[in-house]
A = this chain, B = another copy of it.
Amino acid sequence: MKSFNPPERTLMGPGPSNLDPRVLAALSRPIVGHLDPAFAAMMEELKELLRYAFRTDNALTYPVSAPGSAGMETCFVNLVEPGDKVIVCRNGVFGGRMIENANRYGAQTVIVEDDWGMPVDPQKLEDALKANPDTKIVAFVQAETSTGAESDTKALAEIAHRHGALVIVDAVTALGGTPVLVDEWGVDAIYSGSQKCLSCVPGLSPVSFGERAIAKLQARETPVPSWFLDLNLVLAYWNAEGGKRTYHHTAPVNSLYALHESLLLLQAEGLENAWARHKALHEKLAAGLRKLGLEFVVPAGARLPQLNAVKVPAGVDETAVRTKLLKDYNLEIGAGLGPLAGKVWRIGLMGYTCRQENVLFCLAALADVLSSRDTRS
């Protein structure tokens, strides 16, 4: 066996996205201990930078030491108690994963269904809350990575709060690519991923919790059924009173260097500018895809700029296209998941990947490959 030398790919799938060279450089700086005072100072900056990205003043804002799925689990395992009624809005894979989470922690789960490719319908949530006035938590995905649909977090959170429920929001693909205004919208608990529009390495999940979520956590009658993700314990490391950190687990030191650097890049660009860049280049990509005769899964108005799901045209071999793009162009685009498997491609425009050269390259490569005989079905 030899050292692994990965190919150089342009990553235009559903994540991970490509890394800015500055992020790669930060990643490979010398390792220090997870209780080193120099590292602790960096952790404080990291929390501040995450508050900037989430548009929040929440003190409890930090990166979970594991991928986005563990960020989801951090929200559910801490906030759901056995018997709690939880409404989950499902319009794709990740809403389904939220149901799995809620069920495993003993929730009484009510599902609000929307078609894959559609945003969550606020009226359906309103109806479900009227029918279930004892609902404790409403959970939904702002940016459904499996379809490219964006739901209206502001509207959904307003409805949930009016009925006295907390909201848990999945912002894995949303954060950094489209507005996520935690304080303005009053989101109670939110999680994201490092490897999407933040363009850091995968393996970290930024989370943020507001006061109502913390009050629910503190009022628990049962222990949090996870030691690793128990916020009561993690906080002694991440949010130590008086700066005296207590060891909980060994933080992923080098990955946190990378996250710090990627957030500095976001701050330097400015959040609004990053959103505008994603939007403008999405429009350029969308125009090009239309010229190639490709139709979007999601109706206009609900499309995420950073995740473009398009239908595989009749007569085209879905897998052959992706394989040829990867093999001959070093270009990764994503396949469909669940009921969309084999029927769509998912073209990501996330973070550092979201640059004009990549849009033009992707369109040109797609045009080549779609006109090739090898990709007819």
- Give the residues in chain B near A293, CB-CB below 8 Å: none
Give Cα A73–Cα B225 distance, bound, in whole angstroms.
10
- Give the residues in chain B near A104, CB-CB below 8 Å: 223-227
Give Cα A73–Cα B77 distance, bound, in whole angstroms.
14
Do residues A267 and B69 form an inter-chain contact, with CB atoms below 8 A? Answer: no
- Give the residues in chain B near A300, CB-CB below 8 Å: none
A82 vs chain B, min Cβ distance (A): 11
Do residues B32 and A250 form an inter-chain contact, with CB atoms below 8 A? Answer: no
Do residues B1 and A29 form an inter-chain contact, with CB atoms below 8 A? Answer: no
Give Cα A15–Cα B19 distance, bound, in whole angstroms.
28
- Number of A positions contacting B (CB below 8 A): 78
Give Cα A181–Cα B106 distance, bound, in whole angstroms.
39
Give Cα A68–Cα B66 distance, bound, in whole angstroms.
11
Q: Which of B68, B250, B267 contacts A193 (CB 8 A)?
A: B250
Do residues B8 and A201 form an inter-chain contact, with CB atoms below 8 A? Answer: no
- Give the residues in chain B near A201, CB-CB below 8 Å: 31, 252-255
**Interface SS, A side:** loop
Do residues A3 and B16 form an inter-chain contact, with CB atoms below 8 A? Answer: no
Do residues A226 and B226 form an inter-chain contact, with CB atoms below 8 A? Answer: yes
| Segment 6-52 of A: residues with Cβ below 8 Å from B | 6-9, 11, 13, 15-16, 18-19, 22, 24-34, 36-39, 42, 45, 48-49
Q: Is the C-beta of A176 less than 8 angstroms from some C-beta in chain B?
A: no
| Segment 66-119 of A: residues with Cβ below 8 Å from B | 66-70, 72-73, 77, 97, 100-101, 103-105
Do residues A67 and B226 form an inter-chain contact, with CB atoms below 8 A? Answer: no
Do residues A73 and B226 form an inter-chain contact, with CB atoms below 8 A? Answer: yes
Do residues B6 and A29 form an inter-chain contact, with CB atoms below 8 A? Answer: yes
User: What are 5 residue pairs bridging A and B, where the CB atoms are less than 8 Å apart in the complex?
Assistant: A13-B33, A16-B34, A25-B28, A70-B70, A101-B227
Given contacts A3-B264, A5-B29, 5 further A-B contacts (CB under 8 A): A7-B30, A16-B250, A27-B28, A202-B254, A252-B252
